[in-house]
Structure 1
């Protein structure tokens, strides 16, 4: 059963300590569009099935990546897509979104997702910590 859109966004809003749902939504769209380019096959489909439909579609129709991005480049790409973001704020956005995605996915699917990603992404799926 996929997480409901409102629950998904309010979880991201809470984790990211955003003022508005719109900020949480913007972070979710960018991070999931970039993440989707890194996942293939049944793992991507299973993850999409656990997300609200809007975000499942973003994950399934990602921004195309020529190559898998290292965690550092994923952070830089996120910062580039979010207006006014820095690498520091992008790291925060990624943590808020990916920790919510991990909660929706559950431990075993999250492990399968991490197997498709370059080394170091486990840190991006952790809880965002205040800097």
Structure 2
């Protein structure tokens, strides 16, 4: 079952402690555009199917990434796309969005998502993996 757009933004807003829904929406759009560049094939399509349509379209038409970004570089890229963001606030943004994405994805799909990403993303999704 997919979340409604408002519900998704509300969860991001709550987790990120944003002052307004537009702030949470902007963070979600930037993070999903970057995430989409890192996911391919059925995994990206399955995740898109579990997101509200507006966010699914962003995930399916991502910013292009020449190479997979490490979690640190992903945070830096997020900071670069959000006006006035610092690396610290971008870490907060990424975690608020990706933990909401993880809930929408469910454990099985999240596991497949993490297999497509460089090591360390489990922490950004709020689901530390035991090795």
Q: TM over 0.5, yes or no?
A: yes
* C-alpha distance in structure 1 between counterparts of 2:24 and 2:122, whole Å: 21
Aligned-residue offset at 1:18: 0.4
TM-score normalised by the chain length of structure 2 = 0.96
| 1:15-30 equivalences in 2 (<5 Å) | 15-30=15-30
Q: Who is 1:62 aligned against? A: 62
| 1:48-87 equivalences in 2 (<5 Å) | 48-87=48-87
- Matched residue count: 127
Runs of 4 or more, structure 1, over 6 Å off, are none
* C-alpha distance in structure 2 between counterparts of 1:46 and 1:124, whole Å: 20
Q: Who is 1:105 aligned against? A: 105
* C-alpha distance in structure 2 between counterparts of 1:65 and 1:79, whole Å: 16
* C-alpha distance in structure 2 between counterparts of 1:89 and 1:53, whole Å: 26
TM-score normalised by the chain length of structure 1 = 0.96
Aligned-residue offset at 1:2: 1.0
Q: Who is 1:121 aligned against? A: 121
- Gaps in structure 2 of 5+ consecutive residues: none
Say whether residues 1:37 and 2:37 are aligned partners. yes
* C-alpha distance in structure 1 between counterparts of 2:70 and 2:95, whole Å: 15
Aligned-residue offset at 1:108: 0.8
Q: What is the root-mean-square deviation in Å for CA atoms of aligned residues?
A: 0.8
* C-alpha distance in structure 1 between counterparts of 2:96 and 2:71, whole Å: 15
1:33-91 deviation line (CA, Å, top 9, x unaligned)? 00000000000000000000000000000000000000110010000000000000000
